[in-house]
Amino acid sequence: MATVQIVHRKDKLNKKGEAPIHFRIIKNRKTSYIASGILLPIEQWDERKIRVKSTHRNSARLNSYLSNKFTEIQDIVLEQETLSKSLTSRNLRDKVFGKKPLDFFDFADKVVAKYKEEGKIGTYDKNIAIISKLRKFKPNSRLTFNDITPEFLLKYEQYLKTELKNKTNTINKDMKFIRKVFNDAIREDIIGLEVTPFRKYSMKLDKTHKEYLTEEELMSLEKYPATPGSRLDLHRDMFVFASYAGGLRVSDIVKLQWKDFDGTHLNLVIKKTGTQVSIKVPNKALEIIRKYVLQSPNKDSFVFPMMPENTNLNDPEELDASISRATAYINKNLKIIAEAVGIEKNLSFHISRHTFAVMALKKGISIDKVSKLMAHSNIRETQIYAKVVNEELDKAMDAFN
């Protein structure tokens, strides 16, 4: 429970020998102060009675003011604690002051800026787009945290569906970011827990089907007769390599350097998560990587020549732009190859990741090992693929019917 006290701040003594009188709020061992606007010499404050000494010419008026203000603050603190047990001393101080609600966009911009500072340019761009959509929804007015209620989110959800034609899972990602902004503001003690609308607003999510290639489809892709040394040849090899070598993301494949390969293992830091992994390269992938080794390869050269050799890997924006261009080119050619070999799936490089996960689980590799190889931050991500394998087994058992 919070306590309120009147204190003469001798630690704030000015040059005239006067110290301010504050109202001190203590909650969970954390302290906040509210200024009374009164400055008083040390000798004119009665520390034991906690009041202005009668020798001061305005003692009666000042003591009356302090007493009334003290009672008012105590009443507000008691009322707010009754409404919410999670309030901090700072929240309580703000309730007394009637603090102006913080602008949501101002804080959201700071949250997004951190991604850029950390070099997470892709995440930065995605969340900038999310904020832009919300700004268009509220173009000519200030938007505070208090304005974003469950009702507001329902209206915004409808706007995303009808006006912007966003799918359910796209809307879910937008709402996740808005929720993150609220959670960050709560953690930083900017707003109280009671302000968040996400205790009453439920985010929706449609089940998605993880597209992957069967081993037969992957085999047909491997046999595609591309002209040696052509881009179609390179892009097919990169997809097949990733399908066998741990399902590495395209962002890790295109920046793979010879120094990351010791002859048997890939040893690298995953770009998305910063996780260090060591992957033993199976024979199929070894055949591909050996195809690209030069007589005396420069250890800093890229294994798969997709980006310029002078690409600055320490410049997040330059690297992200290079990876984006490479990914678009690869995906375009993968669709050409898929059509040529009769694969009717909408082939993109990311499907190689799903393909590896399903093949690995089918071959009996335990789910925790697959999760580690794929550098998943949570095993629940890997369990999605386990469900795919189980569904296939269920279909196989239908043969008995």
Interatomic CA distance for residues 336 and 130, integer angstroms = 32
**Are residues 145 and 102 in contact, defined by beta-carbon separation less than 8 angstroms?**
yes
Please tell me whether residues 25 and 80 are part of one structural domain.
yes
- From 304, 201, 200, select the one nearest 255 (Cα to Cα): 304
Do 93 and 121 share a domain, yes or no? no
In a domain, 91, yes or no: yes
Is the residue at 239 inside a domain? yes
Give the per-residue pLDDT at 390: 76
Q: Are residues 236 and 161 in the same domain?
A: no
Let me know if residue 204 belongs to a domain: no
310 vs 300: CA distance, rounded Å: 10
In this predicted structure, what is the pLDDT of residue 373? 86
SS3 44: helix
**Alpha carbons 286 and 244: distance in angstroms, whole number:** 9
Predicted confidence at residue 258, as pLDDT, reads 94
Give DSSP secondary structure letters for 123-156: HHHHHHHHHHHHHHHSTTS--BGGG--HHHHHHH
Do 347 and 251 share a structural domain?
yes
Q: Is 236 inside any structural domain?
A: yes
Its domain, for residue 348, covers: 215-400
pLDDT at 100: 60
Whether residues 286 and 378 share a domain: the answer is: yes
For residue 139, give the amino acid letter.
Answer: P
User: Mind listing the pLDDT tens digit for each residue in 100-155?
Assistant: 667 899 999 999 999 999 888 989 999 999 999 999 998 877 899 989 999 999 99
Number of domains in the chain: 3
Residues 72 and 182 in one domain: no
Q: Are residues 92 and 150 in the same domain?
A: no
Angle at 53 between CA 50 and CA 54, to 5 degrees: 135
The predicted model gives 340-367 an average pLDDT of: 92
Q: Do 241 and 186 sit in the same domain of this protein? A: no
Does the pLDDT value for residue 199 go beyond 60? yes
CA–CA distance, 342 with 336 (Å, rounded to integer): 10
Is 82 or 110 the better-scoring residue by pLDDT? 110
Asked if residue 212 has pLDDT above 80, the reply is: yes
Q: How confident is the model at residue 85 (pLDDT cuts 50, 70, 90)?
A: low
Residue 26 host element (H or E): strand 18-27
Q: What is the pTM of this model?
A: 0.68
Q: Does the pLDDT at position 81 exceed 80?
A: no
| Range with the poorest average pLDDT among 102-116, 178-192, 338-352 | 178-192
Mean pLDDT of 367-377: 86
Least confident of 14-18, 165-169, 220-224, 324-328: 14-18
User: From CA 60, how far away is CA 54, in angstroms rounded?
Assistant: 7
pLDDT tens digits for range 375-385 = 887 888 888 88
- Domain boundary among the residues 97, 129, 155 is at 97
Integer Cα distance of 134 and 106 in angstroms: 13
Q: Is 391 exposed, middle or buried (0-12, 13-18, 19+ CB in 10 A)?
A: exposed
Residue 69 lies in a domain: yes
User: Do 366 and 325 share a structural domain?
Assistant: yes
209: in domain: no
Cβ(351)–Cβ(341) below 8 Å: no
- Residue 330 lies inside a defined structural domain of this protein: yes
Q: Is residue 335 part of a domain?
A: yes
Q: What is the pLDDT of residue 267?
A: 94
The single residue listed with the structure tokens 């070598």 is: 245
Q: In this structure, are residues 286 and 262 in contact, taking their beta carbons and an 8 Å threshold? A: no
> Which of 147, 165, 199 corresponds to the end of one domain?
199
CATH code for the domain of 144: 1.10.150.130
Same domain flag for 237 and 369: yes
- pLDDT tens column, 9-63: 999 888 889 999 999 989 888 888 888 889 999 999 999 999 999 999 999 999 9
> Does 378 lie in the same domain as 231?
yes
Residue 335 and residue 236: Cα distance in Å, rounded? 10
Distance CA 319, CA 254 (A): 10
Coil, helix or strand for 18?
A: strand
Looking at 56, 82, 97, the residue that finishes a domain is: 97
Alpha helices in 38-117 (DSSP H): 59-83, 89-97, 104-117
pLDDT tens by residue, 283-321: 999 999 999 987 556 899 999 999 999 999 999 999 999
Average pLDDT value over all residues in the chain: 89
Q: Are residues 245 and 191 in the same domain?
A: no
